[in-house]
Amino acid sequence: MGRSELKRLSREELIALVLRLQRPEKTSRTSSKPPATDRMKQRAHSKPGGSKPGHEGHRRVLTTDPDTVVEHRPEARACCGCRLHAALPAEIVSVSEQIELPAVAPIVTQHQRLAVCCPRCGERVVAPVPEAARGTPFGPRLHAVATYLKTCQALSYERLQAALSDLFGLTLSQGGLMNLLRRAQGCFRSGRDAAIATLRKADVVACDETGVRIEGSNAYHWLFHSAAAVVHTASPTRGAVVVREMMDRRRPAVWISDRYTAQQGHADEHQTCLAHLARDVAYAVEFSDDPVPWRLQLWLQSVFALAERVTDLAASTLSAKHRSLDRQLGAILGTSSRCDLTRELQVKSGRARDLLLIFLAFPGKVEPTNNGSERLPHPAVVRRRVTNGYRAMWAAEGESAIRTVVDTARLTGSGPFSTVLETVGA
């Protein structure tokens, strides 16, 4: 803002501007900003890493079925020189392991079509084209490895090309890799459709979105999940139309999200994320001397403490605590304040007041926060920072299908690579 623009501001506008400039910078603790955006000087005062005094150590678990067992027996007693024969009984004193990876080289099977002249008629007979030669020259495991490294480990085409060359001695062009990945992505469409069908039947659905670059333009990576399904989808818009298309007019019992308007009104009940509110409150406590944010912070601590034991309490107890917490919140929100940040916080909290304690009516089924939806898109965020987005929409949609199948299978304990290999090899 220049000098001429400042001169045109009224006295009240100048006061508001100065007050805003005096506010402390938001951090990951007081906002939704990721920890990586915290200033360096704040990191300099952080606690040192490593184990703390009194921390119980952990060791790697030994393999129960080793490939080879080598027994090391003493041959003779040092003091008297007596020979210790192999027939003598022995006990295991200690066990150590040496783990090594075998050298991995591609297995190339060459299919040669042969032609033979018929000895009776002299006609040249050519063998039919084998099934293995009709499609891609790359097998299912190679497709799975490339898909896993590209999607789950966020490798760019250049780095994926280098990894396959350095680790396996495979020379593939970036165009060949793109075609390989596009073929593999098609295998995940049916799994994605099944996850969406499961999501639409769920009683509780949580949702979140994050920015992504697709074809050089700003777009959004949406995440929907329930107890039995996780669905990723890429969209050029952040509007509520994405939710309506995903749910296909199906309204679950409870929707969990932050306070973003496009995520409101999609279920019979709505649980607003209390973690978002807690960060706003922490910022107000840090900035203001007003007692209202501090009281609201204590109220949230009581709510989170109740959430930890919500499944242990009877319905009547939960109902009584709900009424008590609501009365306390009403008193906090009704307290007058001259702090503009406190008033903003009261307005935000008052607007969402009826949506803060919905989880008490669904003990064990509804979380008080939307942290699960914030964690699940994290790999997509990492990929955005590493590769700066997607070159084409088909790549974004295909990777969303892969993440959908992988994350849904993870709910039942399946590993990412085993899921990718099973899907591609099906």
Residues 236 and 220 sit within 8 Å (Cβ to Cβ)? yes
Tokens 């999501």 found at: 199
Tens digits of residue pLDDT in 242-254: 999 999 989 999 9
DSSP H or E segment with residue 97? none
Percent of the chain, pLDDT > 70?
90
Predicted pLDDT at 339: 85
SS3 of residue 246 by DSSP: helix
pLDDT at 39 over 80: no
How far apart CA 251 and CA 202 sit, in angstroms, is 9
Tokens 């680790």 found at: 167
pLDDT at 206 over 90: yes
How far apart CA 28 and CA 364 sit, in angstroms, is 28
Tens digits of residue pLDDT in 83-115: 878 788 888 888 998 988 888 888 888 999 999
Predicted pLDDT at 141: 93
How far apart CA 19 and CA 175 sit, in angstroms, is 55
Residues 267 and 361 sit within 8 Å (Cβ to Cβ)? no
- CA dist list (Å): 341 to 6, 20, 209, 282: 23, 9, 27, 12
Question: Which pair of structure tokens corresponds to residue 251?
Answer: 């309204």
Of 154, 152, 170, 153, which Cα lies nearest the Cα of 162? 170
Binned at pLDDT 50, 70 and 90, residue 47 comes out as: low
Classify strands 217-225 and 230-235 as parallel, antiparallel or unpaired. Answer: antiparallel
pLDDT at 19 over 80: no
Burial 141-174 (b: 16+ CB within 10 A, else e): ebbbbbbbbbbbebbebeebbebbeeeeebebee
How far apart CA 154 and CA 384 sit, in angstroms, is 8
Predicted pLDDT at 49: 66
Question: Which pair of structure tokens corresponds to residue 49?
Answer: 């890493």
Q: What is the pTM of this model?
A: 0.80
Predicted pLDDT at 309: 93
Residues 293 and 345 sit within 8 Å (Cβ to Cβ)? yes
Number of Cβ within 10 Å of residue 418's Cβ equals: 13
Tens digits of residue pLDDT in 296-343: 999 999 999 999 999 999 999 999 999 999 999 999 999 998 888 889
How far apart CA 357 and CA 376 sit, in angstroms, is 24
How far apart CA 189 and CA 398 sit, in angstroms, is 8
Sign (positive/negative) of CA torsion 404, 410, 416, 419? negative
Average pLDDT in the 410-423 region? 95
